Chain A
Amino acid sequence: MSENFRNVDPAWLRGMTSKRVSRRGLLKAAGVGAGTLSLASILAACGTPGQQAEAPQPGGVGTPGWWADQEAGDLINFTNWPAYLDIAKDADGNRIRPSLDLFTKDTGIEVEYRADINANEDFYAAIRPALEAGEPTGSDIIVITNGQELTEMIALGYLIELDPSLTPNFTANVGDAFKDPAFDPGNKYSMAWQSGMTGYAWNTKYVDGPITSMQDLMNDDWKGHVSLFGNNADAPNSAMIELGIDPETSTPEDWQKAADLLTSFNEWGGLRKWDDQGYLTALENGDLWACMAWSGDVINDSLYYPEFKTFEFGISDQGGIVWVDNMLIPINAENPKGAIMLMDHYYAPEVAALLTEWNAYVSPVPAGGEIVQADADAASGGTKAVLDTIANSPFVFPPPEVEAKLFNYRVLEGEEIEQWNDLFLPIFTT
């Protein structure tokens, strides 16, 4: 250490200089821990567990017998995406969360709600070490979109199997489209939170709409104010739809064509960012004029915030993507019983309606939709206008002609995952 650092607290300096040690290195070091550290034992300990984690879970976690032994704790940690939970003001002007407060009133269980998830990849990466080590993640319910991360969590045994006898509302009210999904046959591990579409948003303050294709975004007058999603699902699948390819039945040659289309955005030079949930903030503060977007985010902003009433949402003429965000209980959750009760709570039609009237996403509970329609008919004034818009929005209650243009994400298996990621991810990191 240099003479010059004599006056400096060595501990402070260590902190400064050790910052760049890779996080994985540290985690692994913690895992290896003390003991005799022969080279071989260290190297052997460094394998990343994969399918071996799928062994039956100790104590029969997730079996009906195990569920019967569970008692609901008095706090549920619920981690979700932003712009998803209904908020309102009570008579005293305090911010309340009607649908959650209803649950607390009914059961006495408090809910710690955090809108922390900005991207499936990042969130999963953040909790994976805990899952791998068999520790609680700090969340009793998490919300993950159908896709690579969800598939991986199911395959690796990172989720608690649900007990249908504990979810009567779900059984009674779930819509057909959300029952027994391809990514989780029999809803063994997941219950849909909301579903939505990936399409395009534009701000009529800056640009004339509508945007009817991905290529529309490549407008030289909008250079620097346009973004696409940089996750491993939205942009690749949207690009295929744009090229007239159904993602679900696509082949690696189709992927290449989609990759070429996305690469052309890099070559164009006007793309501001390969974005994540942060796009909404950028759209709100005027940095983005037109971008790939998630339906409810944009519709909710335009309906409930006067300053954003110039926001519009639409899907390409070629079609859009419909995805499902799923409520899941991670393994070793501290309050699984409370979690499953809360999940089922959201399948009561009146609760589902509260959510839809706020977030303008597609509800997995059709009976809730009828309540929204009825509320719209019964309301008056400004509220009526808002509810009417939601009740009539093709992106909240898709009519058959929109339904026909909606596609699902490509489900990837085995070798395909790496092939897909090797093709698309480099496009997003340039």
Chain B
Amino acid sequence: MILLFIVPMLAMVSVSLQTGDPIGGYTLTWRFANYSEVLSKNWTFVVRSLRNGVIVTAIALVLAYPVAYWIAFYGGRFKTVFLFILLLPFFISFVIRTVSWSFILSDQGIVFGPLKDIGLLPDDFRVIGTTVAVVAGITYNLLPFTILPLYVSLERIDRRLVEAAKDLYSSKTESFRKVVFPLSLPGVFAAMLLTSIPAVGDYVNADVLGGPGTAMIGNVIQAEFLNARDYPEAAALAFILMAILLVGAIFYARLLGTEEVTT
């Protein structure tokens, strides 16, 4: 914990309070103004990232729940096989998968090319370079992190409770609404956390699939770090992002009163 968490954290605090330039080097000057400056400069990106995070989490949950439910309840002895198939694409590197989407979704690519040829889509239709592409990309990349916690909690539900509900004349819908869904809530909360946090911090999708007007806070950190080599600003921004996510997560756990999520 100390080595893997506290130490890097302190290192980052230190870097974020330094001043200097890439050639002369950076020295610690305790300049807290770094924080206020980067925050006011990059407010739009913070808001945009949080918005994308919310949209991604919502879509991922809607997509993941039925899948997890089906595998948990109807997967039978092939459950592990289904899970394996689900995870199979994710054995390929994150970046490569994202880049392949940029080919699949390209304007004249294998999906839109034919659709445009037969007139189903207008010629100027495009997905790459838009927010839609970025949100879809993040959702796709994080889907396993949504499905797995859901699956784990659904799988653990005692089937006798469902049977009992049936014995008490509840319909299928009712037993889902009153028994299964409430029992799966801890999984839903865990899935939301595991999806929303990386979603807000993502930069690969906006970089590969996005265009002007779609950059997220992660891209700004990347640009400060790689292009401007302004390490203090990048560190301050990364720290702000982490603080926002941490506060969000704690608030979320408190609000929903699920001790389980945080403990």
Contact = CB atoms under 8 A, between A and B. Distances in A.
Q: Does B associate with A?
A: yes
Interface of A: 1-5, 7-8, 16-22, 24-26, 28-29, 32, 34, 37, 39, 42-52, 121-122, 125, 151-152, 155-156, 223-225, 231-232, 265-266, 269, 271-274, 282, 285-287, 414-415, 417-418, 421-422, 425-426, 428-430
A428 B226 CA distance: 13
A286 B212 contact: no
A26 B22 contact: no
A266 B12 CA distance: 33
Nearest to A49: B25
A265 B213 CA distance: 11
Given A5-B149, A224-B124, A430-B213, A51 B25 contact: yes
A22 B234 CA distance: 10
Nearest to A47: B27
B238 A22 contact: yes
A43 B226 contact: no
Nearest to B103: A285
A16 B4 CA distance: 15
B3 A29 contact: yes
Among B21, B22, B26, find the residue whose CB has the most chain A CB atoms closer than 10 A.
Answer: B22
Interface of A is mostly: helix
Contacts of A231: 227
A122 B226 contact: yes
A223 B27 CA distance: 45
Nearest to B45: A429
Given A48-B26, A429-B45, 9 more contacts: A2-B260, A7-B156, A22-B8, A24-B15, A29-B8, A42-B11, A50-B22, A224-B126, A266-B212
B26 A43 contact: no
Contacts of A17: 194
B12 A22 contact: yes
B228 interface: yes
Given A16-B145, A224-B126, A24 B103 contact: no
A421 B213 contact: no
A425 B212 contact: no
20 contacts: A2-B260, A5-B152, A7-B156, A8-B148, A24-B12, A28-B11, A43-B28, A48-B15, A49-B25, A125-B226, A266-B212, A266-B213, A273-B212, A285-B103, A415-B21, A417-B21, A421-B228, A425-B224, A426-B41, A430-B215
A16 B24 contact: no
A272 B209 CA distance: 10
B14 A50 contact: no
Contacts of B219: 429
Contacts of A269: 212-213
Contacts of A1: 263
B187 interface: yes
Given A2-B260, A50-B23, A121 B2 contact: no
B82 interface: no
A51 B24 contact: yes
B94 to A, nearest CB: 9
Contacts of B12: 22, 24-25, 28
Contact of B25 (A2, A4, A47, A425): A47
A274 B153 CA distance: 43
Contacts of B221: 22
Contacts of A415: 21
A274 B20 CA distance: 28
